[in-house]
Each structure stands twice: as structure tokens, then as C-alpha cells.
Chain A
Amino acid sequence: MTAAPARADSAVELPTAVTRRSSLDLVLRARELGIVLALAALVAVTAISNPRFLSGQSIRDILLGTAILAVLAVGQAVVVITRNIDLSVGSVLGLSAFTVGTLLRDNPGLPVVVALLIGAAVGGACGAVNGVLVRYGNVPALVVTLGTLYVVRGITYFWAGGQQINADELPAGFLDFGNATFLGIPYLVLIALLVLVITGVVLRNYRLGRELYAMGSSPQAARLAGISVGRRTIGAFGVSGALAGLAGVLFAARFGTIDAAAGTGYELNVVAAVVVGGVAVFGGSGSVWGAALGALLLTTIGSSLAVLEINQFWQQAIVGGLILLAIGADRLVAARVAASLKKRGSHVS
């Protein structure tokens, strides 16, 4: 090799590089840490005011609620990371819940696993439609999924025709699944954790996952780097849809009562959880862990307001404030990081 001689200063540079790396990591971690602290403070204040908040039943309720929201938030995070958004998840949840509910009412012998798979398949199909429309229609995801939000909900209303599936019509085995625990942890929570870990690892440690970040970071560069952007877009929407479908089955198992309005308005909670959890709406950064933490925080706020006997209407104002706070904090951190990166500057000058 007759490469240009290595710069003497590159060896000197290395130790500082290591400390810089960790400090930068710290800034990025600060986001998750902030949510954990907020959560701890919230739980402490609520528990002091009313110790019943820490009772087994109360915690179980929070965890079950979080499980459904977190599954949706993980799917949403995958889509948002690619610089898209999926507003149809609430409607997809409703369609899946109603489909699975109807099937179980008519075939009580259907195993729970099959029900979960059917729900995911229904959702996955809806998600694939979203993805195909975004990819080939060349229409922003916001518009496409706003459309499918209404279309899917309309289909569910048309199909249900005002009827409702009640808990006594569903097989006992399925309702048990919604309440049963394994080693003290509800199945719903276990499923949510499984989804979270698998998605988290794929996004962080596999080429496929990194390509999703790359697409969100710079769609043009992704295309030039030879990433099949179209296929990945459809895939991301497919995952989001499948997880919304899965969440629909969890919803049915938890509540037992399903009508055509199931999951109405969930999409905004989901997007809020993802944004509060630090997934950048312009794509390319954030993690599903953050999104899941966001889901936990939002669910906990909901229950603690009830316990503190604060009017439920305040919940919306508080969630809104949190979103603004989260986005404000993001801008601040981004500006700081950008400034510090600039200052390090070019090695040439």
C-alpha cells in the first residue's frame, strides 16, 4: 500500500473521540431518561395522594392498557422512522377486533393463537394497501392514511350494521387469555414485550432496520445508495397494519365487548406516544423503546388523573402540553447537538 501517510494527529484524536461519543450518547439517552423521571414523579405524587394507585388491580389496568397502546406505538414508530405516518391504525384495530370477535362467536373452538394470527393478517392487509397507495400513488402518507382511516371505519360500520358482540357471546378461553397471567405477568403484556423486543432488535441490529432509518434520514440518498425504498415503504406500513390488527385482538380479549366504534380516536394517542417517546416526525431517528415508554407514560397519566379525581377532560390538555414539550425539547437538543458538531468542525481547517 502506498496510501497517503496517516496523519499523526489521528492517533491523538482517538481518546477524545471516545469521550465525545459517550457524551453524545448521553444527550440522546436523556430523552428516555426524562420520560422515566416524569413517570416516577407522576407515580410518586399520585401514590402519596391515594395509595390505592399502587394496588395490584390498578397497576394491572395500567399495564394492560399500555400493552395495547404500546403494540400500536411500535408499529407507528416503524412507519414514522421512514418519514411517513399511519393514521389508519385506530380503524384497523376496530376492523380486526370485529373480525376476530365475529369469528370467535361463530366458532368458539378457535385457538387463541389462530385468532391472533387472523387479526394480524387482517391488519397486515390493510397496512399493505396503505403502503401500496403511498408507494405507487405518490401521495403523502398523511393523506392516504387519513383516507383509509375513514374507509376502513366505514367498512366496519357497514358490516356490523349496529350490532355489538358482547362478552357472553365470546368463548371463555379467549376472555381468560385477556386476563390470565404467566408468572404474574399478563399475557397481553408479554405479547407487547415480545413485539417490542423483536422490533427493537431488528431496527437496531439488522441491515433491514438500518435501511428504514436511512430512508427516513434522506430519501434521496437512500435511493442513490441502492435501497429499494418502495418495497421497504410497503413493508413498514404492512408491519404497522399487522401490529394494529394484533392490537385489535388484544383489545377484544381485554374488553370482551366489541362494536364498530372500537378504537375510534386511538390514532392520535398512538402518534402522541410516539412523538413524546422521541421518535422524530421527520424520520431517521428515535427508537421503539422510546415509543413504548411514551405509551406507558400516556396510559399512566390517564389512570392517575382518575385516581386524583381530576376531571378527565384535563387529560387531553395535558397530553397536548406533553407533545409540545417533547417537540420543544427535541428542537433544543437538536440545536445543541448541531452546534457542538459544527464546533468540532472540519479537520482540514
Chain B
Amino acid sequence: MPTEAPVLRVRAVSKSFGAVAAVQGVSFDLYGGEAHALVGENGAGKSTIVKMLAGVHRPDAGTLELDGVPIELNTPADAKAAGIAVIYQEPTLFPDLSVAENIAMGRQPLGRFKTIDRTAMIEQAEQLFTRLGVSIEPSRPARGLSIADQQLVEIAKALSADARVVVMDEPTAALTGVEVERLFAVARSLRDHGAALVFISHRFEEVTALCERVTIMRDGRHVSTDLVSEVSVDEMVRRMVGRELGALFPKQEVTPGAVVLSVAGLTRDPVFVDVSFEVRAGEIVALAGLVGSGRSEVVQSIFGVDPRDAGTVTVAGKTLKPASPRAAMAAGVALVPEDRRQQGLVMELSIERNVTLPRSRALSQLGFLTGSNERRSAKEWTQRLKTKYGRLQDEVGTLSGGNQQKVVLAKWLATAPKVLIVDEPTRGIDVGTKAEVHRLMSSLAAEGVAVLMVSSELPEVLGMADRVLVMREGRLVAELDRERATEESVMFAAMGQEATV
């Protein structure tokens, strides 16, 4: 275990985006020759930390110290110059350029008249690959390399820059078992050469296999930093999720009615496989799991935005035509998508237009949309949802995030759905609006709507749902009723750990 001074110290850094505090006063130290795991739930602020180290975001407060000297990383070039290399989950290579050129970009060996010495450049790449023990052809274009190979190229890039700090942001998420082993072998050799490694992963077996030290983050704050050998996996999970469940969730008790939405054997290989469940009238069912476990894809397939390979979706006894949002809407399904800016709203159109968009046919007379009809309908729903706006004619893009979300909800609620699917209904909106959205979902359920909610926020899942379905890597792995669903049991199921609590 290294005893010398830390290579890089992260000291009390904070970063906010608008009103959302992504990282608040986080500190930890990185030592040379040591692999340091950074773990936390989705949205705990890990990626923001990575982007600060990469020079993409500047901390609002706090400092980074390299060898005890404070440094400012204003651009990716600064981070590179400081010897910090970042390997993203999706590597960022130049597909049209050769592998050797990708590695050497900005530091190409120069020959006469400052021209690039290609032979030396390719030799350099060959040497790096030999050192890493991999055989990638340096002169082939980067296009067509597997994700695993692309990451190895990124690591070679870090090596060639003599990076002293190598940050790997969920490098294993897209790799197969063999590829992960190969990556770990390379990472270990990097570490043994004195580099400080930052490793981000959701898989605890990888953290314990690779890392010496682990920092746990929650809600943008630092929870703890320990030696991996001194903290159990159970303890790590508990620290990741452990927080008070506020009285924020006004869930009304409802006796579920008949089955409204029934999904059987839904499959789209390899994104999700054999997903089956039912949602009853008046019930709120949460679909939980890690980002990338296939939750959003499942609901998009139910609504017909995405195609499916197999399986059936039945709404109130009627089987839906696959891949047809129109059929789903006609059967009474409404989907409030995850990304409201991209999928939920037409930002340039007025508020009223957005609200009435799915019903433009019903509201039109002789094929023409009349302003008064539109306005009346839009007014009714925006008032019911307590949306704050200037005029109904204002562009939706001018509203705050929370109010935009209300407009999306108004748009779909106005269609009087039997099944309401909401994907991350409260992402990026303030606490007050959150509570209103929750109250609304609860009252809709009480009116007999079947609600299916995808959410990464555990308190929301536990506070709102009658039942929790947990997905992991494209499969439904657990179904927990309200009594059995706890933060630990959901997290354990989502991460594939045995529940021992």
C-alpha cells in the first residue's frame, strides 16, 4: 500500500447546474499505484466528478491539487497537460483516422521540417500495444473496432501521454466477461507502473476485484472513503442508499381493480428478454433498476415507439398492434417520456399547441383546428396541474423544467388515458413541483388509472408504488410488494447481489 503523498487531491468541490446541486463539497485523495473506486446510485454525482477531472466542467467551489499544487482545469487540453486521462464508457475516437494516429493525436512524433513521422508513430503504437499485451493493428482505421478494443486504444492513449491519473467511467458496462478480464489485466499493469486509477462501476464484484480504496457518494455528497478490504459489500450498498424517506409521498390507499395492462413475454433481444407483468386499475407499479437495464426500452416498446421481437401487450382485454403508437393511443395508453425536451415537447410551439397535440384531430372542426377549442382545453388542464406560465401562446421552451413536465402531463392527461406510463417523471425538477407531480399521479390512480412508472429515484419508487418490479440487464429479476420493498432489497436485486439484510 503506498504511503507517499497523494498524486491528486479533490478538495471540497461543488458544482451546480441551474438549481440542481450535482456535487456538494466532495473531497477524496488519489494515490499513485492504487485503484480507487467511486460508487453511488444513478445521479449521485460520479459523472460530474469525472467531468471536473476531465476539464469539461469547472467546479463552482473547491480545488483540485496535483502534487500539492492547486490546478485549474478549464479545458480538456488542460487536463491532458496535467497528466489526467479519462476513458469514457463510450470511447471518443476518430473513426476515420488510423489507430496509431488516434493514439498520437496532438503529440505525433515529428521528423524533418516538423512533418509527422508516420513510421515512428506506428512503431510507437506497436510498442504501446506490446506493453499492454494486446494486438490491435496500428494502421487500421478506428472505425469498426469493438467497444473493448476502443477502450484499449484509449488506454494506450493515456499511456502515451504518461498519464499519472487514469479515470475510467463505467468501462465495463458494455463488455463481455472475457473483455472485462482483459481490461482488468491492463488496468492492473497500469496501476503497478505507478498510475493513480479512478474506477467507476455499478458491479461490486469488479470493485472488490480491482480496487484498493472505495469512495461512496450519495445525492452529490461524499459519504465515506475506506480501504476496500475494510468494508463489506452489504455495508457499501447500505451507505449508497441509506437516507430518510420523507413524508413527501402522498400515496392514497386504493384497492386495485381489474387488470388493465397486461404484458406477456415481451422480448427485444438483447435489450430486454421475456418481460411479463400486469398492472391493475388504480395501481401504481414502479419499474426500477439501474440506468441501462432496459426499463425505458420496455415502456417504449409497450407504447409502440420501439419495435419488439416477441410478446404481446394487452390493454383492457384488447391486444395492441406492435410498433404502432397510434394504436396504443387509441386503446387509451399515454406515455410521458424520459427526455421531455427531445421526446415530450415541441419546444418551439406554444403551450396550448403542445397540450392539444395528441388530440388535434378530435379538437378540429371540418379538419381545421380552431383556436378557441384549443385554448379552452389547454386552459382546463394547465389550471388543474397548477402550471405557472405567462400566456398560453408562449413557447414551451420558456418555461422552467418543472412546468414543462406539467405541460407534458397535461398533454397526455387530456386524452383521458386508461394506462399512464411515466418515465422518470421528476428528473431535474425541484422538490415542490415533484410533490405536485406525485400528488397528481396518486389522485389519477385513485380515479382508476393504471400507472406504470419508471424511476431511478428509490425514494420515489418506494414512496409511490404499490408494487416494484426490478430489472437487471434486460430481465425482470424481482417483484416486490409495498411491504417487502426497501431500499436495500431493490438495490440488491438491481445489482444482482443476494439480499442478506
Contact = CB atoms under 8 A, between A and B. Distances in A.
Q: Do A and B bind each other?
A: yes
Interface of A: 1-7, 9-10, 13, 17, 20-21, 24, 201, 205-207, 210-211, 213-214, 216-218, 220-228, 280, 284-285, 337-338, 341-342, 344-349
A347 B95 contact: no
Contact of A341 (B97, B135, B140): B140
A267 B54 CA distance: 41
A3 to B, nearest CB: 4
A17 B100 CA distance: 13
13 contacts: A4-B186, A17-B140, A206-B114, A207-B108, A213-B96, A225-B80, A226-B106, A228-B77, A344-B144, A345-B146, A346-B145, A348-B149, A348-B182
Given A224-B54, A341-B143, A213 B131 contact: no
Contacts of B76: 223-226
Contact of B144 (A2, A6, A9, A338): A338
A346 B148 contact: yes
Contacts of B108: 207, 210
Given A210-B108, A341-B143, A348-B148, A3 B132 contact: yes
A1 B131 contact: yes
Contacts of B115: 201, 205-206
**In the complex, which of the residues A9, A17, A338, A346 has the most CB atoms of chain B within 10 Å of its own CB atom?**
A346
B1 interface: no
A180 B77 CA distance: 50
B42 to A, nearest CB: 23
Given A3-B193, A4-B185, A206-B114, 5 more contacts: A2-B189, A7-B134, A17-B139, A21-B140, A217-B97
Contact of A347 (B78, B114, B136, B141): B136
B139 A227 contact: no
Contact of B133 (A7, A218, A220, A221): A7
B75 interface: yes
A213 B94 contact: yes
B92 interface: yes
Q: Which 9 A-B pairs have the closest CB atoms?
A: A226-B77, A341-B144, A284-B96, A4-B133, A221-B92, A217-B94, A346-B146, A10-B135, A205-B115
B94 A5 contact: no
A338 B142 CA distance: 10
A210 B116 contact: yes
Interface string B410-443: 0000000000000000000000000000000000
Interface in B243-258: none
A218 B116 contact: no
A226 B80 contact: yes
Contact of B139 (A21, A207, A344): A21
B129 interface: yes
B61 to A, nearest CB: 24
B137 interface: yes
Nearest to B54: A224
B93 interface: yes
**In the complex, which of the residues B94, B132, B141, B185 has the most CB atoms of chain A within 10 Å of its own CB atom?**
B94
Contacts of B129: 10
B179 interface: yes
Contacts of A344: 137, 140, 144
A338 B178 contact: no
A212 B75 CA distance: 19
